[in-house]
Amino acid sequence: MDIVVVCQRNGVPTPPVREIAARLGVKSPGTVADHLAALRRKGFLENPKGRARSLRVRTPLDPLRRTVVDVPVYGSIPAGFAEDHQQEARGCISVDVGSLGIRTTTRTFALQVRGDSMVGKHILDGDFVIFEHGVTPRSGDVVAALIDNESTLKTFIMEKGKPWLRAENPKYPKLIPASELLIQGIMVSLIRKRK
């Protein structure tokens, strides 16, 4: 806490590392220097340009604001038998893309899962799945698909040049398109709300 107060005062240079160590009761100035370097790497401290021996505390929310984004939720998707289902916008879900390890674009969207056909992939009824539209699926990708005009959440399989959809629950059959298979999005992340 003492470092924050000292560093926030405008026009006052940051005290030497030895002084900070003494003030905090730390024996090794190297330990203090390591902690200051870690705080700079994490974005909580910065060195103002052109000012020697100066550190400025950044608001702890600054790094979070850069990574939290609102992903539109376009309704739900059946994870069971495919069904004719119109998608409707239902607002947004805020996600910390940094902690999820994803990049969002204008083609990123979310759907809420209804059903149990994907339990083998740990996708449960009520989960929110985040998708990226416009990406070519690879065999094994979890996809939001339109198969013969009915939507479903399944695993995309390409076998001998022919695409089909696999449920991750033995209660459900594989889905082979009679005429059309359209991939609406590839799963990039999953969010489970605690109950």
In this predicted structure, what is the pLDDT of residue 121?
Answer: 96
At 131 the pLDDT is 96
- Secondary structure tally for the chain: helices H, strands E: 5, 10
Q: Please pick, among 117, 171, 193, 195, the residue that the annotation labels catalytic.
A: 117
Q: Is 179 a catalytic residue?
A: no
pTM: 0.63
195 falls in which pLDDT band (50, 70, 90)? low
The pLDDT, as a whole number, for residue 46 is 76
Catalytic residue among 76, 151, 154, 189: 154
CA distance 145 to 111: 12
How large a percentage of the chain has pLDDT more than 70? 79
Instruction: State the SS3 of 118-156.
Output: CHHHCCCCCCEEEEECCCCCCCCCEEEEEECCEEEEEEE
125 within 8 A of 115, measured Cβ to Cβ: yes
CA torsion through residues 97, 100, 102, 106, sign: negative
Q: What is the pLDDT of residue 155?
A: 98
Residue 49: domain span: 2-58
- Per the structure, how many domains does the chain have? 2
- pLDDT at residue 83 is higher than 70: no
**CATH no. for residue 86?**
2.10.109.10
Same domain, 28 and 110: no
Active site residue 162: no
Say how many Å lie between the first and final Cα of the chain, rounded: 36
Whether residue 69 sits in one domain with residue 44: no
| Average model confidence (pLDDT) across the chain | 82
Which of these three, 25, 43, 58, is where a domain ends? 58
More confident residue, 126 or 103: 126
Kindly state whether residues 81 and 137 are assigned to the same domain.
yes
Last residue of a domain, one of 40, 58, 76: 58
Predicted confidence at residue 184, as pLDDT, reads 95
